[in-house]
């Protein structure tokens, strides 16, 4: 089953809002997944996270988490690495109460380093994180390095797939942001372009990749340095219907997280168009 998710609470969530209200509102709207946005920091208490997790389970709303933006696992500054690990571990801790997976992560920045050097640094940090998470009893929470939208950021398609292959799909899955890929490469124009991306992933990770799929989708405005801002899916940058057709024909299961500024409107549009196929 492929679910279409909001990136955060629906804009129309009634006041006073919050994650618990957002989950219930998703159900009311007919949206069956949501990505909990911890992008400014993890501030959710365990009791609330448990309540939200039970509510989501009861209403059949599949949850995932976006970890804080302030992460750079490629840094050579120990305080930045320590804070990055903390943000991810706090997200994993909350995820174990929320029954939310994966934890979507922006891995880091090149800052003059080669891709190979960044990969070496990120792998070392991810291993520490996974070891600490196991000691803390975090279960059933996958890490999800995200395909990043700026050319200065470590995390292109090949890099996130290689990370996931290194740790295995039981611990880590690549989170393909198709808008970010389009911003970095300017190369999504039709169904064949989507198939090329997904075929590469399946070749490197195996057919199981199709059954634990997690991705982001929106329109994107970009320049020479990559991503500028997310825009509505109707702008077809990258093309929406071609994406949905490839998802349908491939039998993908998992979650498609809508990051359009129109949020629930575009989430429901994507779901409706997918169901028409």
Domain extent listing, the chain: 2-276
Residue 41 to residue 48: CA distance in whole angstroms = 16
pLDDT of residue 227: 94
Count Cα atoms within 13 angstroms, Cβ side, for 172: 22
Among residues 35, 146, 144, 41, the alpha carbon closest in space to that of 86 is found at 41
pLDDT of residue 140: 86
Residue 118 to residue 84: CA distance in whole angstroms = 15
pLDDT of residue 144: 98
CA triple 207-215-261, angle to 5 deg: 165
pLDDT of residue 245: 98
Model pLDDT for residues 48-76, shown as the tens digit of each residue: 999 999 999 999 999 999 999 999 999 99
60 within 8 A of 32, measured Cβ to Cβ? yes
pLDDT of residue 139: 81
Is the pTM value of this prediction over 0.85? yes
Among residues 117, 182, 141, the alpha carbon closest in space to that of 42 is found at 141
Residue 81 to residue 122: CA distance in whole angstroms = 10
- Options 3.90.950.10, 3.40.190.290, 3.20.20.150, 3.40.50.20; CATH of 2-276: 3.20.20.150
Give how far Cα 133 sits from Cα of 47, 114, 162, 224, 265, Å.
19, 28, 21, 38, 36
* Spans in the chain with pLDDT lower than 50: none
pLDDT of residue 71: 97
pLDDT of residue 212: 87
């Amino acid at each position: 089953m492929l679910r279409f998710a909001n990136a955060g609470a629906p804009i129309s969530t009634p006041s006073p809002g919050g994650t618990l209200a957002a989950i219930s509102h998703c159900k009311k709207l007919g949206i069956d997944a949501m990505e909990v946005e911890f992008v400014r920091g993890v501030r959710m208490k365990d009791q609330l996270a448990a309540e939200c997790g039970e509510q989501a389970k009861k209403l059949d709303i599949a949850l995932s988490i976006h970890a804080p933006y302030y992460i750079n696992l490629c840094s050579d500054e120990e305080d930045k690495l320590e804070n990055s690990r903390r943000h991810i571990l706090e997200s994993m801790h909350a995820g174990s109460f929320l029954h939310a997976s994966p934890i979507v992560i922006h891995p880091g920045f090149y800052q003059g380093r080669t891709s190979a050097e960044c990969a070496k640094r990120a792998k070392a940090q991810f291993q520490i994180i996974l070891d600490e998470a196991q000691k803390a009893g975090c279960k059933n929470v996958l890490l999800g390095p995200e395909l990043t939208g700026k050319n200065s950021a470590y995390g292109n398609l090949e890099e996130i797939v290689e990370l996931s292959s290194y740790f295995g799909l039981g611990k880590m899955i690549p989170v393909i942001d198709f808008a970010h890929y389009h911003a970095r490469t300017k190369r999504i124009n039709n169904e064949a372009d989507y198939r090329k991306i997904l075929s590469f992933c399946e070749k490197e990770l195996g057919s199981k990749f199709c059954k634990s799929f997690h991705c982001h989708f929106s329109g994107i405005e970009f320049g020479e340095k990559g991503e500028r801002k997310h825009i509505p899916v109707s702008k077809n940058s990258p093309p929406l219907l071609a994406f949905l057709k490839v998802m349908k024909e491939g039998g993908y299961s998992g979650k498609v997280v809508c990051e359009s500024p129109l949020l629930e409107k575009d989430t429901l549009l994507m779901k409706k168009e997918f169901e028409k196929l």
